[in-house]
Every structure is written in structure tokens, then in C-alpha cells.
Amino acid sequence: MVNLSGKTVLVTGGNTGIGKEIVTMFAQAKAHVVVNYLYQEKEAEELRDSLENITLLKGDVSKMDDVDSMVLKLKELGLSIDVLVNNAGITRDNLMLRMSEKEFDDVINVNLKGTWAMSKGLTKAFLKKRSGSIINIASVVGLIGNAGQANYVASKAGIIGLTKSLAKEFGSRGVRVNAIAPGFIQTKMTDDLPETVKESYLSTIPLGRFGNAKDIAALALFLASDDAAYITGQVISVNGGMV
Ligand SMILES: NC(=O)c1ccc[n+]([C@@H]2O[C@H](COP(=O)([O-])OP(=O)(O)OC[C@H]3O[C@@H](n4cnc5c(N)ncnc54)[C@H](O)[C@@H]3O)[C@@H](O)[C@H]2O)c1
């Protein structure tokens, strides 16, 4: 059983879906967990009240000003982050010909720029203490592409490139950077898809089931732990054999 006592972990978009499960598992592993959220304040408060050692941190990861304010707030609270999980993400699916500039920009800004901005915000502290772990939540579609998701896929492929670059930039300073590429995971993000789409995805999954948030959180926990001390610059798939 992984024990993260003494470690402080920040999870973006940590009050729902996969992020919520990551927060829960890290808290159960005795870490202090900072839950970044932007919407659904009630869920964030309920999560804080149901677990021990949780700090809520409201802010928009896609805005550098918000990120700077969050970093300042952490300093005021005396919290030094050891592990950053860049989980916040959105979809605005559309076919290329119908996709608006706003749909493209919004997705790139939250998913890719948000991952960059949060990593940048915490870089100084990580490099100073010569340790740290960044875990970016990418996606299977960032590896193989997907019709109707050019914006989302580009953002997730971008996260993979960012992960590999930061791993090379920070490796000599003791900071590890990895990505998890989930397949089809049952959350609100996927619940909204039409049944026919879900059925066609299911037929491509050798393990014959959709993933759940625990499947992703378990890997995040491992990557954050000292057992993963020699793993950096990797993209690890959790997709039931889909790819
Ligand atoms: N569910 C899947 O099948 C699946 C598959 C592959 C990858 N992912 C990725 O996993 C991550 C979590 O997704 P999920 O399925 O749990 O969906 P979700 O919608 O529950 O989680 C996304 C979270 O990000 C938050 N968020 C959105 N914009 C934000 C912003 N600007 N600043 C801060 N927080 C913001 C949302 O409020 C939400 O809490 C996402 O990055 C998603 O792309 C999900």
C-alpha cells in the first residue's frame, strides 16, 4: 500500500470524475491534497468534508493570472507541492467544418495551456527543492486521433509533447514528468455520449468493459510514489487493450 504521508499533492479539476477519485486515493494514502476546482463548488466542499487533509483552491487553470494567484495562495498557506496532477479538461466536440474558433480555443486553453500554466506556476518550487512529480492526464485519442474531436485530440497530443519535453528539461533536477492516457472511462464526460457511440467504443475494448476512475487513480498513485522513481517522460495507457 502506497504511503504518501508528508507529501502534498495538487489535483486540478479535482472535485469531479477522475480527479475526484485521484483526490480520494491520494487522501487515503495519507497525502495532504489540494483540490483545485472552478465549477461545482458544492461537490468540492462535500469532498473536503468527507476526507481528511483536504484544502480547496478555486481558480481557472487556463488563465495565467489565476494560476499566479493560486501559487501565491499556496505560499500564504505554507503549502509546498510535491506532486501536481494536471487533470482539468473539457470537450467541445464537433466535426471540423462545423467547429468554431471558440470551440477550438476553449479546449486548447483549458487542456493544453492549463497543463502548461500549472506546470509553469510550480516549476520554480520544484526545481528549487530538486524533487517533484508532474502527472498529466492525456487521452487514448491523443495517440490515435478521433473524428469529431480535432480540438480535444490536438490538446491531448500537445500534452504528450509537453510531458516529454518537460521530462527532458527537468530530469537533471530530480523532477519527473509523466502522462496517463486513459481510454473510455465512465464519468460525466462520457455519460453524455449517445448509446450507439458507447456501444461502438465497447466493441473495440478487448477487456469488454469501460474503465472506471479507480483504474486511472491507481496509476496516478503509483507514478507519484517513490516506486516510480526511475520513470519519467512516459505516456502510460490505461484503456482495456483498446490500443
Ligand atoms: N472520461 C474519459 O473517458 C476520459 C478519457 C480520457 C481522458 N480523460 C481526461 O480525464 C480528465 C478528467 O475528465 P473526467 O472524465 O473526470 O471529466 P470531468 O468533467 O468530471 O472532469 C474535468 C474537471 O475539470 C474541471 N475544469 C474544467 N475547466 C476548468 C478550468 N478552466 N480550470 C479548472 N478546472 C476546470 C471541470 O470542472 C471538472 O471538474 C480530463 O482531462 C479528460 O480529458 C477522460
String of DSSP letters for 132-151: EEEEEE--THHHH--TTBHH
Looking at residue 192, its pLDDT comes to 85
Rounded to 10 degrees, what is the CA torsion of 112, 117, 119, 124?
160
Q: Which amino acid is at 212?
A: N
Q: State the average pLDDT for the chain.
A: 97
Which pLDDT score, from 0 to 100, does residue 177 have?
A: 98
Q: Is the CB of 191 under 6 A from ligand 1?
A: no
| Region 88-97 average pLDDT | 98
What pLDDT is attached to residue 163? 99
**Residue 230 a catalytic site member:** no
β-strands 132-137, 83-86: how paired?
A: parallel
Q: What is the pLDDT of residue 5?
A: 97
Q: What is the CATH number of domain 8-238?
A: 3.40.50.720
pLDDT of residue 1: 84
Closest listed residue to residue 85, CA positions, set 225, 187, 239: 225
What's residue 189's pLDDT? 84
Residue 188 CB less than 6 A away from ligand 1: yes
Predicted confidence (pLDDT) per residue in 33-72, tens digit: 999 999 999 999 999 999 999 999 999 999 999 999 999 9
Best probe residue, ligand 1, of 10, 16, 108, 190 (max atoms within 8 Å of C-beta): 16
* Per-residue pLDDT at 188 exceeds 90: no
- Residues 191-238 have pLDDT tens digits of 988 999 999 999 999 999 999 999 999 999 999 999 999 999 999 999
> What pLDDT sits at residue 62?
98
64 lines ligand 1 (CB under 6 A): no
